[in-house]
């Protein structure tokens, strides 16, 4: 009798756990990948942490643009911390098990930070639009109260949506293989493991992606199109070149982040390639937090000047 009761408990334990395969298909590169991602993680923490600290401490960097940069740098640290430590632990220990609760928590934070990044990038593009296209009204339009409201809205808007979205996904029955062919708990590989009807969940993925990815992306493109039209009217070719250089670098990061997100979440489910999903997710979860400090801050003369002053001290 006791022997018959034991298997259901074991099955229940198995049902409550997943296995993150990560890069298990490259066994000879495990320690190389561990070292590579560890170095990337340290660089992201140091670069974004430095930008956050100097924008808070230096009196010369108290304008709205640096207020947004400080929040953006802090967000990048949170965003990458939601995925990389777990990946490093899996690579270092080869223990790939993750509980359903931990998997749901990771997905929720990744979605929340990703949605916040989309909205914050749109806010930063709007800030540049007002500064370049309407400079006389910039101090009034982008006052401290408005800046706080925009940042707060970016952080809290997605909380109920992402929590509800995650809850609905993990309410599905999982009766297939518990192996997640990914390095973190992302929506497409989790939905592939569900044995129930996922039509509603897939529709919600499209709706959330449109609201938190496509809509901010279009706002950013509109802002930069206005900015570029103003730049073309500048009399100096040197000023045009400098402005175009800044805009092009910003747009490069925007396209990298939003493009990889759009392809991952808006492709039809039948066309999903697990290998392609892993590569694309590397772009929006790791590479953009790595490049953003260089693109948005470390090419800025004011930031470089403050850094040099701190190093000299």
CA distance 245 to 230: 14
Quote the pLDDT of residue 135.
86
Amino acid 78: pLDDT? 96
Cross-sheet strand order for the sheet of 17-20: 97-99, 17-20, 179-180
For position 153, what pLDDT does the model report?
96
Q: What is the pLDDT of residue 11?
A: 45
- Name the class of domain 13-312: mainly alpha
β-pair partners for 99: 17
pLDDT at residue 96, as a whole number: 87
pLDDT at 8: 45
pLDDT tens per residue across span 69-101: 899 999 999 999 999 999 999 999 888 899 999
For the chain, the domains span 13-312
The pLDDT value recorded for residue 150 is 96
**How far is it, in rounded angstroms, from Cα 243 to Cα 227?**
9
For the chain, the residue count is 313
pLDDT for residue 134: 87
Low-confidence ranges of the chain (pLDDT < 50): 1-14
pLDDT recorded at residue 208: 95
Q: What is the pLDDT of residue 251?
A: 81
d(CA 165, CA 144): 33
Q: Report the interhelical angle of 84-93 vs 64-81 (nearest 10°).
A: 30
173: left (phi over 0), alpha (psi -120 to 50) or beta: beta
Q: What is the pLDDT of residue 81?
A: 96
């Amino acid at each position: 009798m006791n022997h018959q009761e034991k298997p259901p408990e074991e099955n229940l334990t198995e049902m409550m756990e997943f296995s993150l395969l990560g890069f298990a298909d490259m066994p000879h590169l495990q320690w190389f990948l561990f070292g590579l991602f560890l170095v990337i993680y340290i660089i992201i923490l140091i670069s974004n942490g430095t930008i956050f600290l100097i924008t808070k401490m230096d009196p010369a960097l108290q304008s709205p643009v640096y207020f947004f940069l400080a929040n953006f740098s802090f967000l990048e640290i949170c965003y990458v911390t939601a995925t990389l430590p777990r990946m490093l632990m899996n690579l270092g220990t080869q223990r790939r098990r993750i509980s359903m609760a931990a998997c749901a928590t990771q997905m929720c934070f990744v979605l929340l930070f990703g949605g916040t990044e989309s909205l914050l990038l749109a806010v930063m593009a709007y800030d540049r639009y007002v500064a370049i296209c309407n400079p006389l009204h910039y101090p009034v339009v982008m006052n401290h109260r408005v800046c706080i409201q925009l940042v707060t809205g970016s952080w809290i808007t997605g909380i109920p949506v992402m929590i509800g979205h995650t809850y609905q996904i993990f309410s599905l029955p999982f009766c297939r293989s518990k192996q997640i062919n990914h390095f973190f708990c992302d929506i497409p590989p989790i939905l592939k493991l569900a044995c129930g009807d996922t039509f509603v969940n897939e529709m919600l993925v499209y709706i959330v992606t449109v609201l938190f990815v496509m809509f901010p992306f279009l706002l950013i493109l509109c802002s930069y199109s206005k900015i570029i039209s103003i730049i073309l009217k500048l009399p100096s070719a040197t000023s045009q070149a400098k402005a175009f250089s800044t805009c092009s670098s910003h747009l490069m990061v925007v396209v990298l982040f939003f493009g990889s997100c759009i392809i991952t979440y808006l492709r039809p489910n039948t066309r999903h390639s697990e290998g392609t999903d892993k590569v694309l997710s590397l772009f929006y979860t790791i590479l953009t937090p790595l490049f953003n400090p260089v693109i948005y801050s470390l090419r800025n003369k004011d930031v470089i000047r403050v850094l040099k002053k701190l190093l000299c001290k």
